[in-house]
Amino acid sequence: MKFPLKIAIRYIFTIRSFHFITVISVLSAIGILLGVAALIIITSLFSGFRDFAQREIISLDPHIRIILDENSAHFDRNIMYRKILSTDPKALIIPYKTSKILIAHNQGYRVAQLYLVDDSLFPMHPISEKIFVGLRQSNGFGIVAPPSLVLGINLADGIRILPGDTITISTVESFEKSAATLTFPSYFKVRVDALFRTNNTEYDNNFIFAAESQANYITKSKVFFAGFDIRCSDLDLINRIKEDLQRTFPNLTIHTWFDLNKEIMNAMQFERYAVFIVLTLIVSIAVFNILASLFMTVLEKRPDIAIFYSLGATKKQVQQIFILQGTIIGTISTILGLFAGLGFTIGQIKYEWIKLNTQKYVISALPMKIEPLSVIAIVCVSIFLAYIATIYPSSKASIINVSEAIYKE
């Protein structure tokens, strides 16, 4: 064992009287341990919530959405199909139409977003897996037709609609026209077959999904917007398909699921970074205690340092003693914090120690996900800060006057 390392270990682990320097060293070690453990737990918690939110969003939102407008008049859907299927042969392409409508039932009125899908593709739409109550096919796909129409659970609750009820539908355009001509607005009646619940308030409060054949009248409205929803078999292909389509059809409006939910995903990422910075400051404060304890150790060990110089030790070797001492304390504390943080996180993932009330929340326990790169970054930052804290005290140790130190001793 090299001379500086041997002395550094002796200074750390030799049993000596319990005094102020020891207290500061222990407190700094505990602070680093708790800080590292907290960082790992909190980042895993944010990663768990982000992963859960992403799964929930992707389970219903399209992976890629193409919106048709006046700039897409010369759009060739056959080329689009070939482009997509050449990259992902298992991709599901769902043409859709959507519009704002007014629904009425038992003197209750609500504005809703109608989303129409081709009859043959309606059973394959993800909404079929979110049916909460109503008739369903025996194979688990979608609802029994005709007609095929499902409402969000909160939208239905707002005007007291149950499966089997008949509702009146009219377009916003029809009401505007009737107001201008002083005539009754055009409307038609359809039967509600089922209600869906997605735990996404935007869908549950506002959306109606239906097979296109059940609303032919609505599709003639000028305020109707159309497009394509694409669901990929492999999420890694999403950006590649978008880039290919954007190059082929530069005038098309194309969004990925992340683009459609950019605000919430960016907010979650910002919160994660903010918490990481705050907890890193806590670790920094604990590391500052290492600097203080090393500085006092240098003052206490002035005679020892003088003897080391008398025996032929170099300034570099003396510096290494205190650099190693602080780095070892920081490394041991970091490793203990690593085990504590990972232990709690793995335990929460496996045993769900902290449970949530399923009547109030969508999930039964706090979600957690360990991200190896984040853990490695936390460990490296903690050890690096511990090393930085040793530079000043070790530099002071290297400039001690040997004769003066021995004389005072």
Q: List, as one string, the DSSP characters of 163-229.
A: TT-EEEEEEHHHHHHHHHHT-PPP-EEEE--EEE--S-HHHHHHEEEEEGGGGHHHHT-TT-EEEEE
Residues 153 and 286 in one domain: no
Assess whether 207 and 279 both reside in one domain.
no
193 and 312 co-located in one domain: no
Q: How far is CA 269 from CA 41, 234, 259, 368, 392, in A?
A: 16, 23, 14, 15, 36
CA dist 145 and 127 (Å) reads 15
| 213 and 127 within one domain | yes
401 in Cβ contact with 303 (< 8 Å): no
What average pLDDT does the structure give for the chain? 85
Does residue 79 form part of some domain?
no
Which strand (E) or helix (H) includes residue 52?
A: helix 20-60
- In whole angstroms, give the CA distance from residue 102 to residue 172: 7
pLDDT at 382 (0 to 100): 93
Tell me if 16 is assigned to some domain. yes
pLDDT above 70 covers what percent of the chain? 89
Q: Is residue 245 part of a domain?
A: no
147 and 269: one domain? no
Identity at 211, one-letter amino acid code: A
Query: What's the confidence (pLDDT) of residue 62?
Result: 95
Position 197 scores a pLDDT of 92
pLDDT at 401: 64
Residues 225, 272, single domain; the answer is no
250: Cα within 13 Å, side-chain hemisphere: 1
Specify if 356 maps to a domain: yes
Q: Do 125 and 218 reside in the same domain of the chain?
A: yes
Regions of the chain where pLDDT drops below 70: 1, 14-21, 72-73, 135-147, 215-225, 401-409
The single residue listed with the structure tokens 């003052």 is: 299
**In terms of residue numbers, what domain contains 158?**
92-231
Nearest 5°: the CA angle 199, 203, 57 is: 60
Structural domain contains residue 361? yes
Distance CA(319)–CA(397), nearest Å, equals: 6
Q: How many domains does the chain contain in total?
A: 2
Instruction: Please write the tens of the pLDDT for every residue from 327-364.
Output: 999 999 999 999 999 999 999 999 999 999 888 888 88
Tell me the pTM: 0.83
Q: 151 with 272, same domain?
A: no
Is the residue at 83 inside a domain?
A: no
Say whether both 221 and 301 belong to one domain.
no
189 and 108 share a domain? yes
* 357 found inside a domain: yes
Evaluate whether residue 256 is within a structural domain: no
